[in-house]
Amino acid sequence: MLKYLVIGSGLAGLYTAHRASALGSVLVVTKKALRDSNSFNAQGGIAAVTDIEDNPEIHFTDTVIAGRGLCENRAVQVLVQEGPQRIKEIIGEGMKFDTENGKLSLGLEGGHHRKRILHAGGDSTGRYITEFLISKVQNDPNITIRENVSVIDFLVRDGVCYGARCWDEERNCEELIYAEHTFLTTGGTSAIYTRTTNPETTIGDGIAMAYKAGCRIIDMEFIQFHPTSLFLEDSPKAFLISEAVRGEGAWLLDKAGKRFMLPVHELAELAPRDIVARSIFKQMALDDRPYVVLSLKHLDPEKIRSRFPNILAKCAEYGYDLTDWIPVAPAAHYTVGGVASDLYGRTDIRRLYVCGEIASTGIMGANRLASNSLIECLVFAHRAIGVAEECGPVGDLPHVDLLYRKDESAAERYYALKRQIAHTMNNCSGIIRSELLLSTGLNLVKKELRELGDVKYEYYDEASRKLLTVAYLIMTGARFRRESRGGHYREDYPMLSEEYALHTVQKAGEKLTTKKVNQE
């Protein structure tokens, strides 16, 4: 029997497969092509303490400050203490990060008080690190990779997961995959918004499936909007302009050419992301234009060319010169909450583990510190493999029937709903929220869910249910939280409130509950 089923081929999935293969057979299934992931597109880098001037306690403090009172301290300690070791290991295995005079070259990003961001290929860290792992897993006889296989649902009996129901796009049929351990690494859900930096695969399938299977889903209201994505007239495409560009000294300017972040925060352009994103959003309204200016005119153009070759080329493709100025606007970028997980990736279902962006371990609190997510993938995948190995044999598996069919006539309905939900999310549950907006959005989602009724195992209807479920979870959390904190801002409750220094918990069939921070 297959020992490890890994769902998703981002950094969390690839690293899990790489580490698990020493212990047994691994199958990686991924929705589209192997390189279709957020991880592949990551730019700025990966945060870990590697410099003598830095130490894990400073990394801890920076993470907790960005998390606005909702970080789980034990999880953050795991991240900052174990991150350096994971980095050392992959360097030992041949991963090449950028260096300067023989030393690792370290970048600075928003909210970090030390230069600690390792990067590769200048601004192509995600591509370099995923290519490095792809070269490992593709050459590993214990690992099989299958592209164009989407997981639709889990196989669960008596609270134990023993694999997944999948849709094989190439054969156009359902398939059951049984496994001793299932690793869910399907990433976040930002692509359910209209303006997003994420690829179209990132629509929260894994979160919706885990919710349906009975897992608790935590803090879904916190969506991180990246402050700076390239603004293109008439296009929802939002190519990310890494925070590292501001780390190198780029300025945000209003219509009059003034640096509007200076009076807002001591770190100006490098203030935590939520503050910068909201300030840009407000400035856009004041200036009455859909973007602000990111100016690099005052910086050394040679340094910009060598540090950001990928971003420079992408901007040039759209007629902009990165060494001069570019128009930028915020976009949905990172899902802070997710499936409840302990410090070893364990969920509420035995033998089902989560790692990477889908997991809610409490590291990110209410707001992710830049570059902490790639390192999260390595640290927690490593731990999850360790505990999975300690589980005994799986026992007899029940026989289940194939259930799903694909009705092409339902496709149009699904894509129309996807567009509608994207607009609803942007308008009702975006950077600035309110009771009125959220209740309007929620009513629409509830109506669509009622109309969908009991999904009868049709592929597209099931996909619609997943989209609606994720939208429902985000908006329900956001409506409950009558305060502003991190990636959640309400204009009707603009202040942080101690009353809400807690996690929101949603479980299928139950009302939203809460959980205190830093409580076992």
Ligand X SMILES: Cc1cc2nc3c(=O)[nH]c(=O)nc-3n(C[C@H](O)[C@H](O)[C@H](O)COP(=O)(O)OP(=O)(O)OC[C@H]3O[C@@H](n4cnc5c(N)ncnc54)[C@H](O)[C@@H]3O)c2cc1C
Q: How far is the CB of 190 from ligand X (least distance, A)?
A: 7
Q: Is 512 exposed, middle or buried (0-12, 13-18, 19+ CB in 10 A)?
A: middle
Between 296 and 354, whose beta carbon lies closer to ligand X?
Answer: 354
Position 197 contacts ligand X (CB under 6 A): yes
**Identified binder of ligand X from the candidate list 78, 143, 151, 363, rule CB under 6 A:** 151
- Interacting stretch for ligand X, rule CB under 6 A, among 355-363, 422-430, 475-483, 504-512? 355-363
Which amino acid, 210?
A
Known catalytic residue: 405?
no
Q: DSSP secondary-structure letter at 194?
A: S
Between 373 and 484, whose beta carbon lies closer to ligand X?
Answer: 373
- Interacting stretch for ligand X, rule CB under 6 A, among 52-60, 371-379, 484-492, 501-509? 371-379
Structure tokens at 49: 């303490």
Provide the mask over 240-269, with x wherever binding to ligand X is found by CB under 6 A and - wherever it is not.
x-----------------------------
Position 360 contacts ligand X (CB under 6 A): no
- Interacting stretch for ligand X, rule CB under 6 A, among 98-106, 258-266, 290-298, 373-381? 373-381
Q: How far is the CB of 18 from ligand X (least distance, A)?
A: 12
What does the radius of gyration of the chain's CA atoms come to, in whole angstroms? Answer: 22
Query: What is the four-CA torsion angle of 388, 393, 399, 401, rounded to 10 degrees?
Result: 10
- Interacting stretch for ligand X, rule CB under 6 A, among 2-10, 341-349, 388-396, 472-480? 2-10
Between 134 and 299, whose beta carbon lies closer to ligand X?
Answer: 134
Structure tokens at 407: 């009705």
Helix (H/G/I), strand (E/B), else coil: 54: coil
Query: What is the four-CA torsion angle of 162, 163, 164, 169, rounded to 10 degrees?
Result: -160
Position 224 contacts ligand X (CB under 6 A): no
* 404 within 8 A of 250, measured Cβ to Cβ: no
* 320 within 8 A of 313, measured Cβ to Cβ: no
Query: Out of 195, 216, 273, 479, which one is annotated catalytic?
Result: 273
Q: What is the spatial distance between Cα 472 and Cα 180, in angstroms, rounded to a whole number?
A: 32
Helix pair 372-390, 11-20: axis angle to 10 deg = 30
**Identified binder of ligand X from the candidate list 7, 192, 252, 428, rule CB under 6 A:** 7
Q: What is the spatial distance between Cα 430 and Cα 437, in angstroms, rounded to a whole number?
A: 10
Give catalytic residues, as residue numbers.
273
Instruction: Catalog residues that contact ligand X under the rule CB under 6 A.
Output: 7-13, 29-32, 36-39, 41-46, 125-126, 150-151, 185-187, 197-198, 201-202, 205-206, 240, 334, 356-358, 371-374, 377
